[in-house]
Amino acid sequence: MTPSFVEQPYHLYTPSDHRTWSTLYARMLPEWEKYANEHFLKGISALALPADRVPRLDEVNRFLEPLTGFRAKGVGGYVPAFVFFDCLRQRSFPTTVTVRPATQLDYLPEPDIFHDIAGHVPMHTDSAFAEALVRFGDCAHTAAEMPAEALPSILRAMARFFWFTVEFGLMRSRAGLKVYGSGLLSSHSEIEHAIASPDVQRYPIQLEWVMNQGFAIDHYQPLLFIVESFDHLFELVGELEQWMKAGKLNHVAPGEPEVNETDLKSFLTADLAV
C-alpha cells in the first residue's frame, strides 16, 4: 500500500485561502515567540515560510531537505496509519494541501496545510527530532510483524504515544517549559492554555501511563506529558518498541482512540520489504 501523493494544486488556492493562511500565521507568531521551543523557532526561520500566502511545498523542501533529508509531500486524502509511519521512516511527511475554512480558524477536527506545514514541518528541521520520527517509522514495521490478535491494542498504544508526544508534547528548556507538539503549535487558542492554565496537569512522561491514557480530540487537553529533550524522545520510541516485542502492549487499557478498520488493515497487509 502506497500513499496517494499529489502535486500541490497551487493555482486552485483562492484569495480567501491566502488570507486565511496570513491570518493564522499572524495570530500564531507572537504565541510561538512566547511558548514554542527553540528548535521550532529555528525551524520557522530556516524554512522562510511566507507570512502572507500559502507556501509552495517545493519552496519548503528546498530549505528542509538539506537539513535532515525530510520532504513535505502532498496527499489527496486520508493516509492509513502504517503508510503514514512508513513515510516517516523514509523521511517523507504526508502533507494536507487544503486550507481550513475561514469560518473554522480556531478548531478543525482534520489537519490542514497550516497544521502540517506551520505546526509539524518546522520541527523536521531539527536532526534529533527527525531521527525520532524515523525511529517511530521503524517501530511501525515492528508492529506489523506482531500477532494479528494483538494489533488493535498495539495500534492504540502507538496512537496514544504519538498524540502525547509529536502532537501535544511539552519539553523542558533553559527558559522553562515549552511546547513542541504540533497540535499545540498550530492552535492559537490552546498553546498558551497548555503552558499557563491551572486546569492542565503536566507530568514527566511515563511510558506505561501514556500507553494506557485515552484522549479526546474535541476539547482542550487536560493532561500533557513532558520530555527532557529530543534525544530522550528517541530513547522512548526505542523503549516503546522493546515493550512491543515483549508483549507489554498487547493489553493496554481500552478506550480512545478507537482503531479503525483502514488503519488495522494497513498493518495486516503491510509490505515490509520496502
First to last CA, the chain: 10
- How are beta strands 71-75 and 170-173 bridged, if at all? unpaired
Task: Evaluate whether 22 touches 53 at the Cβ level (below 8 Å).
Answer: yes
Task: Evaluate whether 230 touches 126 at the Cβ level (below 8 Å).
Answer: yes
Q: For residue 126, is pLDDT > 80?
A: yes
Record the cell numbers describing residue 226, joined without a space.
513532558
Q: For residue 179, is pLDDT > 60?
A: yes
pLDDT given at position 1: 57
Average pLDDT, rounded, for the chain = 94
3 part of a folded domain: no
> From CA 215, how far away is CA 79, in angstroms rounded?
21
97 part of a folded domain: yes
62 part of a folded domain: yes
4 part of a folded domain: no
CATH number (domain holding residue 138): 1.10.800.10
Question: Which residue is listed with cell 504515544?
Answer: 161
Which residue type occupies 197? S
Radius of gyration over every alpha carbon of the chain, rounded to an integer in angstroms: 18
Mean pLDDT computed over 193-217: 95
Q: For residue 3, is pLDDT > 90?
A: no
88 part of a folded domain: yes
Mean pLDDT computed over 82-103: 94
125 part of a folded domain: yes
Give the burial class of 267: count Cβ atoms within 10 A of its Cβ; 0-12 exposed, 13-18 middle, 19 or more buried.
buried
Give the burial class of 244: count Cβ atoms within 10 A of its Cβ; 0-12 exposed, 13-18 middle, 19 or more buried.
buried
The parent domain of residue 159 ranges over: 10-268
Please give the tally of structural domains in the chain: 1
Confidence of residue 111 (pLDDT cuts 50, 70, 90): confident
274 part of a folded domain: no
- Percent with pLDDT over 90 in the chain: 88
Q: For residue 134, is pLDDT > 70?
A: yes
Q: What separation in angstroms does the CA of 112 have from each of 106, 130, 193?
A: 12, 21, 22
Mean pLDDT computed over 121-126: 98
Question: Which residue is listed with cell 523542501?
Answer: 61
186 part of a folded domain: yes
